[in-house]
């Protein structure tokens, strides 16, 4: 199974997504159960707050010697176990002690069965502990009678304040002057007779408790407790919030899983782009044996194979070019010897033509060697020996070198601000010189060189007033030995490698070369774009 998972990215991603879904679902259920548990405990504590405050208040009004008798009486009356324990003897945690210190009621499950209620007595040294199995109607009536007795002996002016103290929890307690509404005649007669009446509120899962307090004047005040509401399940709004939180957690988990696969694919894409740009020394780091890892290994193998084939091709071209120099030199030497041995004009004219062909062959060999050298350096991943190059000075040197060879042309440089670029000086000058020489071969009267500094790059434009380059041929002319004139006659000029060398040089520098129409001269416009680095930006 481990081998299958290691070899299958899809299965790993699928299982991770399924695991994330299960974990999120489990966390959701745990979260909802935890929220319901917290709400249930809070509901119990709020309901127990008023009875516990009543008991502690009544107990604190007695002298300590009367505690035992009063507690025994209330135990019989309420069917509860009630006792007073010292705070120091109670086994409570930090948070439980803090809640008691804030006059809160603790509701704890009893070890045997039922619940244990704890509340701090006035003074803070003792706790009132109440243990009960369940809350019955008998206990509700007993607590109501206890509250009524406490209020009956209290001056009417103090009752509202005492009730506000008791009603600070979730259990509403109030005194009303008018008889309660919603009771039938039988319930009203029982209430007038001093009994406790418990009313069930239909549809609300809650009850209200009533007790009449007889005053000395003969009037009655009506004690109303409730409604005492049962615990309600989690509301829909809270459930929706939890679902949204779960969806957010699941979305983040899925994003992290997919992001890992995407990051590996991005590295493959970057490596493929670098290989396509000529950086054949680029390799992908293989992290596993799954399909992404196998794809990386295949990409590495392909790059190594292409690099090996191109290296062999470049080595062969370079070796053949070097080998051609020896017979060419011997032919030149023989021509010179023949030229020195004869004075006949026809023979000397033919020998001069042969010498011109030899010079053209020498130039072709130089071009082939330069092209092969550029290809070899790119294949082997050699970094260029870059230096800051003054672009205007470079263009002037090119003009000085080519102007004597083309007396019928005007080669001019459109002056611009000083621009320096980080490049290999020799190869960059070769690229600009090849473009200007190509423009001179096709121009009628004028060649213009423009240098501009644009955001993030330097732009060289070489324009001429010649016939231009047809739209269909603008990509093909940068291929080796490609010329617009397929006849390859001497009048066409060039060897078909000049623009290929320019393309190689610009690719090596991370730039580009393109051709379009010159808007001013009407001929061709060749454009070189060289990237600028941050520290090369002109002042």
What integer pLDDT is reported at residue 203 of this predicted model? 61
What integer pLDDT is reported at residue 63 of this predicted model? 87
Count of CB atoms situated within 10 Å of the CB of 106: 22
Q: Which of 10-19, 46-55, 470-479, 513-522 has the lowest mean pLDDT?
A: 10-19
Quick one: which of 391, 375, 338, 331 has its CA closest to 532? 391
CA distance linking residue 290 with residue 3, whole number of Å? 10
Query: Is 506:528 a contact under the CB 8 Å cutoff?
Result: yes
Query: Is 213:221 a contact under the CB 8 Å cutoff?
Result: yes
Domain with CATH 3.30.565.10 in the chain: 383-536
Three-state DSSP class for residue 409: coil
Strand runs labelled E in 373-494: 387-390, 410-414, 420-423, 446-454, 457-464
pLDDT, mean of residues 167-189: 78
CATH number 3.30.565.10 is the correct assignment for the domain at 383-536: yes
Q: Is pLDDT above 80 for 109?
A: yes
Q: Is pLDDT above 50 for 489?
A: no
Domain with CATH 1.10.287.130 in the chain: 258-382
pLDDT, mean of residues 434-441: 89
Three-state DSSP class for residue 382: coil
How many helices (H) and strands (E) in the chain?
Answer: 13, 15
Domain with CATH 3.30.450 in the chain: 1-134
What integer pLDDT is reported at residue 497 of this predicted model? 73
What integer pLDDT is reported at residue 463 of this predicted model? 92
**Mean pLDDT, all residues of the chain:** 79
Instruction: Please state which CATH number belongs to domain 1-134.
Output: 3.30.450
- Neighbouring residues of 287: CB distance < 8 A, sequence distance ≥ 6: 264, 293
Q: Is pLDDT above 70 for 377?
A: no
Q: For CA atoms 402, 326, 340, 489, give the dihedral sign.
A: negative
Q: On the CB side of 498, how many CA atoms lie within 13 Å of its CA?
A: 19
Residue showing tokens 């159960």: 33
Most confident of 33-47, 160-174, 433-447: 433-447
**What is the maximum alpha-carbon separation in the chain?**
160
Three-state DSSP class for residue 482: coil
Q: Is pLDDT above 80 for 321?
A: no
410 vs 323, higher pLDDT = 410
39 vs 489, higher pLDDT = 39
What integer pLDDT is reported at residue 448 of this predicted model? 92
Quick one: which of 449, 448, 435 has its CA closest to 499? 435
**Fold designation for 258-382:** Helix Hairpins (1.10.287)
- Sorting pLDDT into bands at 50, 70 and 90, what band is 217? low
Q: What are phi and psi of 441, to 5 degrees?
A: -70, -30
CA distance linking residue 53 with residue 63, whole number of Å? 18
Quick one: which of 502, 497, 504 has its CA closest to 481? 497
pLDDT, mean of residues 290-297: 80
Strand runs labelled E in 202-349: 206-214, 220-229
Q: On the CB side of 143, how many CA atoms lie within 13 Å of its CA?
A: 25
């Amino acid at each position: 199974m481990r081998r299958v998972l290691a070899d299958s990215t899809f299965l790993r991603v699928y299982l991770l997504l399924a695991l994330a879904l299960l974990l999120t679902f489990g966390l959701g259920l745990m979260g909802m159960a935890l929220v319901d548990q917290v709400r249930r405990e809070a509901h119990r504590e709020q309901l127990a707050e008023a009875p516990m405050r009543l008991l502690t208040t009544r107990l604190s009004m007695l002298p300590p010697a009367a505690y035992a008798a009063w507690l025994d009486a209330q135990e019989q009356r309420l069917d509860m176990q009630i006792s007073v324990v010292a705070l120091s003897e109670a086994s409570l945690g930090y948070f439980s002690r803090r809640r008691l210190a804030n006059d809160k009621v603790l509701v704890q499950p009893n070890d045997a069965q039922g619940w244990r209620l704890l509340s701090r007595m006035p003074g803070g040294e003792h706790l009132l502990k109440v243990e009960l199995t369940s809350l019955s109607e008998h206990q509700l009536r007993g607590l109501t009678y206890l509250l009524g007795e406490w209020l009956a002996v209290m001056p009417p002016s103090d009752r509202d304040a005492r009730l506000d103290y008791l009603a600070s929890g979730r259990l509403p307690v109030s005194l009303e002057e008018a008889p309660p509404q919603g009771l039938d005649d039988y319930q009203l007669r029982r209430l007038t007779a001093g009994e406790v009446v418990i009313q069930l509120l239909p549809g609300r899962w809650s009850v209200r408790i009533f007790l009449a307090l007889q005053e000395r004047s003969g009037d009655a005040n009506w004690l109303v407790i409730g409604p005492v509401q049962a615990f309600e399940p989690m509301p829909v709004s809270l459930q929706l919030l939890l679902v949204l939180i779960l969806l957010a957690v699941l979305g983040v988990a899925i994003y992290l899983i997919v992001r890992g696969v995407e990051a590996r694919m991005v590295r493959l894409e970057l490596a493929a782009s670098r290989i396509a740009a000529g950086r054949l020394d680029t390799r992908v780091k293989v992290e596993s044996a799954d399909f992404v890892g196998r794809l990386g290994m295949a990409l590495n193998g392909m790059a190594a194979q292409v690099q090996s084939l191109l290296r062999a091709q470049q080595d062969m071209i370079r070796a053949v070019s070097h080998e051609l120099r020896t017979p060419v030199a011997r032919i030149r030497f023989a021509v010179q010897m023949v030229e020195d041995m004869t004075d006949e004009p026809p023979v000397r004219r033919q020998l001069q033509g042969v010498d011109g062909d030899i010079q053209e062959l020498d130039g072709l060999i130089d071009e082939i060697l330069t092209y092969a050298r550029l290809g070899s350096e790119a294949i082997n991943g050699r970094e260029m020996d870059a230096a800051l190059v003054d672009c205007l000075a470079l263009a002037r040197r090119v003009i000085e070198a080519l102007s004597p060879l083309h007396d019928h042309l005007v080669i001019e440089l459109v002056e611009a601000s000083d621009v320096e670029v980080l490049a290999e000086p020799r190869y960059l000058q070769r690229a600009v010189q090849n473009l200007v020489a190509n423009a001179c071969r096709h121009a009628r009267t004028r060649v213009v060189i423009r240098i501009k500094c644009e955001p993030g790059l330097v732009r060289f434009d070489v324009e001429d007033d010649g016939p231009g380059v047809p739209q269909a041929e603008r990509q093909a002319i940068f291929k080796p030995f490609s010329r617009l004139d397929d006849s390859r006659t001497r009048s066409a000029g060039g060897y078909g490698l000049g623009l290929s060398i320019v393309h190689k040089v610009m690719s090596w520098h991370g730039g580009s070369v393109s051709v379009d129409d010159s808007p001013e001269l009407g001929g061709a416009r060749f454009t070189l774009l060289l990237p600028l680095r941050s520290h090369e930006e002109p002042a």
